[in-house]
Amino acid sequence: MRVEETDVVVVGGRLAGSATAITLARGGHRVVVLEKRRLPSDTLSSHALVPSAVAETARLGALDRLLALRPPRSPWVHVGAGDVQVHEHWSAVDGIGYGLCIPRIDQDVELARTAEAAGADVRMDAEVVDVVWRGGRAAGVRVVQDGEEREIRARLVVGADGRRSTVAARVGAWQPYRASRNGRGAAYRYMTDPQVGTRWHETMSQWRWGTTIGYTFPIPGERMICMLMPPAERIAELRRDPEAAWSRLVAEDPAGIGERLRGAAEHTKIRSTAETISFFRASSGPGWALAGDAGHFKDPVIGSGQRDALRFGRRLGELVGPVLDADGEDHELDDALRTWERERDRTCMASYHWGSRESRPIAPATPLQREIIRTFDGHRGQLADNFGRVRDPERIVGPRVVALGLLNALHRFPEQRGAIVREALGELPIEAGIRLDRWLGRRLFRASTTRPSERGDVAFPPAPRPRRAAEPTGGSGEAAGAPAAEASPAPAA
C-alpha cells in the first residue's frame, strides 16, 4: 500500500474543511484535503451567509471570489407573520453590513479554490474508508482514489465530512451525547425573482404562517431560492406530488410568501428532507477533531450552520496551528483540540436551543408570537442581530420583550386570552432551561441533560459498518480499532 506523510489530513472539502485547511496551510503546514465527491456538486443547505458569515469568508480570503459570482448584496432582513411585517438593516460585522446567498454548488468550489491557493492539497473523488491508529491515537486515514487504496499518515485527522461522518464513526463518536428531534422538514428550489429591481431583491426574508416557516433569498443571475419548512410529516406530500404540495403550502399564505413568489418562473426541481436532527457529538480526542456538521448540527430553520462551519473551522486551525508549529507534545495538541471544542459548544448552545425551539411543529405565528415580533418594529437591528448571531437569542427576546408582547397580545385578542396565557406559561420552563444551560456551560463540558426546548426522543441513524481493516503496513501501527470516544466527565446537570 502506498504511504504518504503530511501534517494534517482534512476529510471533507466543503465549508468547514476548507476553512480549517486555509488557516493551517497559511501557517505553513502541510495539509491534504480529501473530498468524497467531485465539486461542483450541490448539497442540502439554506445557502445563506449572514453578515457574520460573510465576514468569515473575508478573513479566509474567499470573499472576492464569492463576489465575482455577482450575488445580490442583501443589507435588509425581513420577518413577516400575518399582519406583522418587520424590516430591518443588518448590523455590520467587521464593516460588512450585508448578507449573501450563493448556491452551494458554486460557494463550495470557491472555498476549495481558496484552500488550494493557500497551499492545501485538495483532492476530489477521494473516499476515506478508515482511520489509522498508532499508540491509541488517530495517526492518519486510508483513502480510495482512482481505484487505489493508500494510507496518508498525519499528526491530526479532521473530520469535516458532514452529519453522516465516516470519521465520527471510525473514532467512536458517532452517537451524539446530546440531540433534539426535528419537528420540521425542509424543501427548497430555485426560480426567477419577479422582484428584481426592487428592495425585495436585496432582502433576506422569513415568512411565518399556519404551522410553516418559509424563507426567500436572492441569488446570482436575477434568481432566488425559496425554502419551505412545514411540519416534518408534510414532506411526504412533497415527495408524492411535488408541484401540487408546493402550491398548497404557498397558497396558505397568499398575502405573504404567496405574493412574494407571484410571477416567479423557471422553477427547478424540489429538494427536500424530513431528517434534520440537531446534535452535539464528542468532537475532539487523541489526534482527531470533528468540524462543521460532523461534530455539531443545528436545525436549518435558523440558518446558522454555514456561519459556524466557517468560524469554527478557522478557529480550529488557529488553536492547533501553534502546537503543530512548535512540534509540541501530543497532550498539548489534545488540550488545544479540547479548548476548541469547548469554545464551539459555549458559542453554539444558545443557537442550538433556538433552532430546537423554532423546529417545534406548532403554529409559528400565534397571537403571542406575532406581538413579540411586533415589538421590534421600528427598533433598528434587533431581530437582525438575532439571525446574524451578533447577540444570543435570549438576550434579544428577553423578559421585557416577552412581557410587552404578552400584554399587547392580551389587549389585541381578548377572545384568546386563555390560550395566550397558557402559551406564555408553557414557554417559561423553556426560557429557564436555556438560561440554566448558559450558566452551566461555563462550568460543564459535554453535559448531556435534555432541556425543555429539546425533544430528546431521537432515533439516530445507525453508524455505517466499519470496513474490514487491512493489515498494518511497515511502521504504521494499529490498522483499526478506534478507542471509544471520551465520555462526558460532567454529571447530568
Average pLDDT of the residues of the chain? 90
Position 90 in a domain: no
What mean pLDDT is predicted for residues 295-299?
A: 94
| Close Cβ partners of 352 (under 8 Å, ≥ 6 residues apart) | 180, 278, 280, 296, 298
C-alpha–C-alpha distance, residues 275 and 286, integer Å: 31
pLDDT for position 491: 28
Q: Which domain holds residue 221?
A: 186-273
Residue that is written with C-alpha cell 486510508 in the block: 142
Examine the domain organization and report whether 160 and 191 are in the same domain: no
Is the whole-model pTM more than 0.85?
yes
As a whole number, mean pLDDT of residues 80-94 equals: 93
Widest distance between CA atoms in the chain? 78
Amino acid 393: pLDDT? 82
* Structural domain ending residue among the three candidates 313, 341, 358: 358
- Inform me whether the pLDDT recorded for 492 exceeds 70: no
Structural domains of the chain, count: 3
Q: Per-residue pLDDT for 490 more than 60?
A: no
Residue 16 lies in a domain: yes
Quote the cell numbers at residue 52. Answer: 457574520
Percent share of the chain, pLDDT over 90 = 74
* Confidence (pLDDT) at 365: 81
Phi, psi of 258 (to 5 degrees): -60, -40
H/E run at residue 98: none
Do 201 and 138 fall within a single domain? Answer: no
In-domain check, residue 267: yes
Same domain, 267 and 409: no
Beta carbons of 384 and 88 less than 8 angstroms apart = yes
Same domain, 14 and 107: yes
Instruction: Kindly state the helix (H) or strand (E) to which residue 213 belongs, with its residue range.
Output: strand 212-219
Contact (CB, 8 A) for 349 and 65: no
Separation CA 158–CA 156 (nearest Å): 6
pLDDT band at 140 (very low <50, low <70, confident <90, very high): very high
CATH of the domain at 256: 3.30.9.100
Q: Check whether 489 has a pLDDT greater than 80.
A: no
Going by C-alpha positions, the residue among 8, 21, 92 that lies closest to residue 292 is: 21
Mean pLDDT score, 406-433: 92
Quote the pLDDT of residue 361.
74
Choose among 14, 18, 86: nearest CA to 44: 14
Residue 253 forms part of a structural domain: yes
Residue 380 lies in a domain: yes
The confidence score (pLDDT) of residue 467 equals 64
12 and 114 part of one domain: yes
Residues 412 and 430 in one domain: yes
Is pLDDT above 60 for 479? no
399 and 377 in one domain?
Answer: yes
Q: Which of 326, 358, 390 is the last residue of a domain?
A: 358
Give yes or no: residues 193 and 238 share one domain. yes
Give the Cα separation of 141 and 134 in Å (integer): 11
What are the φ/ψ torsions at residue 422 (nearest 5 degrees)?
-65, -40
- Which residue type, as a one-letter code, is found at position 108? D
Q: Are residues 328 and 381 in the same domain?
A: no
Residue 450 lies in a domain: no
Query: Which residue, chain included where needed, has cell 458559542?
Result: 347
pLDDT at 363 over 70: yes
Q: Are residues 376 and 319 in the same domain?
A: no
User: Are 172 and 211 part of one and the same domain?
Assistant: no
pLDDT > 70 in the chain, percent: 93
Within-domain flag for 456: no
Q: Does residue 92 carry a pLDDT above 50? A: yes
Least confidently predicted of 11-25, 95-109, 132-146, 355-369? 355-369
- Tell me which of 291, 326, 358 is where a domain ends: 358
- What the block records as the C-alpha cell of 142 is 486510508
Predicted confidence at residue 378, as pLDDT, reads 67
- Which of 210-214, 272-276, 486-490 has the lowest average pLDDT? 486-490
Same-domain status, 110 and 167: yes
Residue 428 lies in a domain: yes
Q: Are 113 and 68 in contact (CB under 8 A)?
A: no
